[in-house]
């Protein structure tokens, strides 16, 4: 069993959805980001989504855009992201790590070189926003061959006819984007999200995690009634941004993230009550 499978199985056994937390790698600087990463599992995060900074994040709202500017300014590079995963793995063998970002930095790194380095570092999966199934030859198929999960986004515009195409090479889990929109926007109807999750589940045995727009313990509890996982991101990256003093990490930066994670972590625990 892969780390991702194991984690979802554990959460299922505990009758709760898994909590997936997104933070930007290297935000706001290397040392602080490392401390945040290590604090996440203790704070209740089951799976870490690690954002790879990109200059033109077309699916992200302002909070993650800003995180994506702070990280490279603090010295983060694609190689640096992998280095952080490698360091984390020395201390934590079980928490799955999924890299999330855009294709160009990987393409420029070199796909095969990147996948080999990511596998070595202990990366479990990839979520690449701008690679739909139509571009599977680029990275998805090489990733699967390299033993790395390729986690696909499905959206409200992915209808029943298209869903099998999207699910075809998906592995690890399915990421359902809760709305037509960018990260950080508001979910219009939690009920509709639940229906969509059930619809996807009728097409696949993979766990279905829901992300985009999940902010509070209530969101987590309510959406977690149907979903196998819930993803929080914007609120965490925003907490990093708000904790800064003169643009630099403060003694509150790590604890700010930890505090925010606590609330969806409580939410997932009571989701099935």
Partner 1 sequence: MAVSGLYGGRFVAETLMPLILDLEQQYRAAKLDPAYQAELKDSAIHYTGRPSPLYFAKRLTEHLGGAKVWFKREELNHTGSHKINNCSGQILLAKRMGKTRIIAETGAGQHGVATATVCAKFDLPCTIFMGATDVERQKPNVLRMKMLGAEVRPVTAGAGTLKDAMNEALRDWVTNVDTTYYLIGTAAGPHPYPEMVRDFQSVIGTELKEQFRAAEGKLPEAIVACVGGGSNAIGTFHAFLDNPEVAIYGAEAGGHGVDVENGHAASMTGGSPGVLHGNRTYLLQDKDGQILEGHSISAGPDYPGVGPEHSFLHDTKRVTYVPITDNEALAAFQLCTRMEGIIPALESAHGLARVIKLAPTMSKDQSVVLCLSGRGDKDVESVGNYLGLL
Residues taking part in catalysis: 49, 60
Per the rule left: phi > 0, alpha: psi between -120 and 50, beta: everything else, 172 is left
Structure-token match 């393409």, residue found: 107
Site for partner 1 in 105-124 (CB under 8 A): 105-109
Asked if 153 interacts with partner 1 (CB under 8 A), we say: yes
Asked if 268 interacts with partner 1 (CB under 8 A), we say: no
SS3 170: coil
CA dihedral (34, 6, 141, 37) in degrees, to 10, reads -10
In the complex with partner 1, which residue's Cβ is closer, 44 or 233? 233
Give dist(CA 171, CA 36) in Å, integer.
27
In the complex with partner 1, which residue's Cβ is closer, 53 or 207? 53
Asked if 83 interacts with partner 1 (CB under 8 A), we say: no
Asked if 169 interacts with partner 1 (CB under 8 A), we say: no
Select the span of 37-45, 150-158, 234-242, 262-270 touching partner 1 (CB under 8 A).
150-158
Select the span of 12-20, 70-78, 88-96, 223-231 touching partner 1 (CB under 8 A).
70-78
Minimum distance of partner 1 from residue 60's CB (angstroms): 8
Asked if 135 interacts with partner 1 (CB under 8 A), we say: yes
DSSP 54-87: -S--TT--HHHHHHHHHHHHTT--HHHHHHHHHH
Are 23 and 40 within 8 A, CB to CB? yes
Q: Count residues near partner 1 (CB under 8 A).
A: 42
CB within 8 Å of 118: residues ≥ 6 apart: 82, 85, 99, 126, 146, 148
Minimum distance of partner 1 from residue 138's CB (angstroms): 8
Asked if 142 interacts with partner 1 (CB under 8 A), we say: no
Give dist(CA 79, CA 258) in Å, integer.
26
In the complex with partner 1, which residue's Cβ is closer, 90 or 161? 161
For CA atoms 229, 202, 144, 212, the dihedral sign is: negative
Asked if 72 interacts with partner 1 (CB under 8 A), we say: yes
The residue ranges that bind partner 1 (CB under 8 A) are 53-61, 65, 72, 77-78, 102-109, 129-132, 134-135, 152-159, 162, 166, 177, 180-182, 185
């Amino acid at each position: 069993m892969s780390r991702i499978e194991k984690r979802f199985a554990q959460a299922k056994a505990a009758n709760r959805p898994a909590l997936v937390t997104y933070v930007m790698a290297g935000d706001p600087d290397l040392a602080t980001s490392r401390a945040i990463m290590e604090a996440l599992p203790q704070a209740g995060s089951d799976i870490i989504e690690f954002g790879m900074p990109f200059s033109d994040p077309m699916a992200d709202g302002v909070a993650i855009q800003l995180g994506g500017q702070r990280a490279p300014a603090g010295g983060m590079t694609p190689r640096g992201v992998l280095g952080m995963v490698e360091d984390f793995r020395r201390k934590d063998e079980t928490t799955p790590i999924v890299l999330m970002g855009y294709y160009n930095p990987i393409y420029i790194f070199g796909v095969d070189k990147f996948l080999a380095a990511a596998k070595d570092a202990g990366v479990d999966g990839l979520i690449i926003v701008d690679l739909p199934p139509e571009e599977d030859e680029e990275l998805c198929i090489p990733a699967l061959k390299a033993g790395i999960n390729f986690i696909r986004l499905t959206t409200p515009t992915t209808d029943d006819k298209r869903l099998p195409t999207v699910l075809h090479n998906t592995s690890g889990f399915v990421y359902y984007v809760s709305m037509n929109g960018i990260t950080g926007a508001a979910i219009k109807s939690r009920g509709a999200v639940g229906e969509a999750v059930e619809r996807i589940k009728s097409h696949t045995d993979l766990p279905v995690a829901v992300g985009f727009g999940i902010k509070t313990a209530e969101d987590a509890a309510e959406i977690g009634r149907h979903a196998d996982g819930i993803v929080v991101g914007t609120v965490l990256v925003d907490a990093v941004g708000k904790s800064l003093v003169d643009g630099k990490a403060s003694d509150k930066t790590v604890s700010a993230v930890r505090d925010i994670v606590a609330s969806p972590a409580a939410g997932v625990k009571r989701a099935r009550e």
